[in-house]
Structure 1
Amino acid sequence: MNTKAIIEGLLFLSGEEGLSIEQLSDAIQMDAGSFIETLKEEYRNPDKGFELVEFANRYKFITKEFVYPYAKNIFEEVKAPSLSPAALETLAIIAYKQPITRVEIEEIRGVNCEMMLKKLQLRNLIEAKDRKDVIGKPLLYTVTDEFLDTFQLESLKELPELKQKDFEDSELFEEIQ
């Protein structure tokens, strides 16, 4: 049995979702860690068109950057939907302050954000994970693994440190802090 090839095949089959070490270890019934490291090293080779990466504790194959100009010749260029400034602001507040309720987000932003929260949930960037133990039991929002993957973060600890000069409104800075 070629365990490394099996892991390689499983990762290929998992596509954008990727697989965790635990999932791979369960599948092959042994620790997959050393196989993953070997594969990561093999795919760092500049002769390979893709590489093995880890985002949000999940491993997956991605195409190397040098392939993209050639891919444009084959595939129609599809513009990925971008996030509006309001969506990015809401997402940043959630990422830095999570878990956080809708009302707390609205207090920071100063505007209603109910529709924005729904849009971010539909894009699977945030989720209502729990309820706050207060009257009314409002939903608590957190970012998802998809958020980490989208912004290529291993964890929220990689978010940049907030600095006062990044904010025109010092009250907004104080609220996010």
Structure 2
Amino acid sequence: PTLRWQAAESTQSVRFFFARLTATRGGLEASPSQTPTQRTPRMARLEAALFVAEEALTARRLMQVATLASVAEVRELIDRLNEAYDEVGSAFRIECVAKGYRLLTRAEFAPWLDRLHARGARLKLSPPAMETLAIVAYRQPITRADIEALRGVRCADVLKWLMDHELIRIAGEDNSLGRPFLYATTRKFLETFGLGSLDDLPMADRLRPPREAPAESHRPSAGVSSQASDSDQPVDSAA
């Protein structure tokens, strides 16, 4: 009799449990989305690597540093970290920059951070520098003569300034008379302007010319002298 009573009591308890489960099923099913993202040691290692990195790290590099299984796991953990940041209203977020990833502060905190680090004074682009940099960004690879033809003024000093600040680089030589240098943007350019790649430039699909595969297909540049380096090339008086 004791066993039968215990069995009956157990059956009644089970029925009561399932009755409550049925009544609250909607709440139980919705609870996972309300559960805070659980942090794991792998997430912590990835976060630490991004925190100390001084430049954008590729997914493969992060996989090696944080000893993760695959690039896919890196991207999955980055998504989970960003979810965790969003849940608590964190000032941080992991963004894709220069074909890599960086742990950055959100844009709305820039005014306060500028006071702390005076970031506004770190890199100031004059209108000529900004115009020249924009031409290189959208038309790269491009020769100095072509840049000056578009701007209508000499730009040797501006190009030197942009190179000194590692925003542009010499990407090769054009297959035209004198083989002038070709200029292109750098990885630091992408990091400075928060771009994942050149495809993230505003209206890139409309303003960037079609890509040309072979280097020999670059069009000849007008007004180029026969010297090997374009740093001493004269500008055509018509420009």
Same fold per superposition (TM over 0.5):
yes
Q: Which residue of 2 aligns with 1:14?
A: 53
Letter of the 1:41 counterpart: E
Matched, 1:144 2:182: no
TM-score (norm 2): 0.60
Superposed CA offset, 1:29-51 (max 9, x none): 52122222211222223432322
Superposed CA offset, 1:85-139 (max 9, x none): 1111111111111100111111111211111011111121111111112332211
- Whole-angstrom CA distance in 2 between matches of 1:69 and 1:132: 43
SS at match of 2:175: coil
* Matching of residues 84-95 of structure 1 within 5 Å: 84-95=126-137
Q: Which residue of 2 aligns with 1:96?
A: 138
Q: CA deviation at 1:10?
A: 0.8
Matched, 1:63 2:105: yes
Contact 2:167 2:189 in 1 (8 A): yes
Among 59, 64, 77, the alignment partner of 1:26 is 64
* Matching of residues 138-177 of structure 1 within 5 Å: 138-161=180-203
Letter of the 2:104 counterpart: I
Contact 2:173 2:182 in 1 (8 A): yes
Q: Of the two, which has the highest radius of gyration?
A: 2
TM-score (norm 1): 0.78
Root mean square deviation of aligned Cα: 2.4
Q: CA deviation at 1:55?
A: 1.3
Tell me the number of residue pairs that the alignment of Structure 1 and Structure 2 aligns: 161
Change (3 A) 1:55 1:78: closer
Letter of the 2:53 counterpart: S
Q: CA deviation at 1:158?
A: 2.8
Q: Which residue of 1 aligns with 2:120?
A: 79
Unaligned runs of 5+ in 2: 1-39, 208-239
**Matched-pair identity in %:** 36
- Whole-angstrom CA distance in 2 between matches of 1:60 and 1:46: 19
Contact 1:94 1:100 in 2 (8 A): yes
- Whole-angstrom CA distance in 1 between matches of 2:202 and 2:109: 29
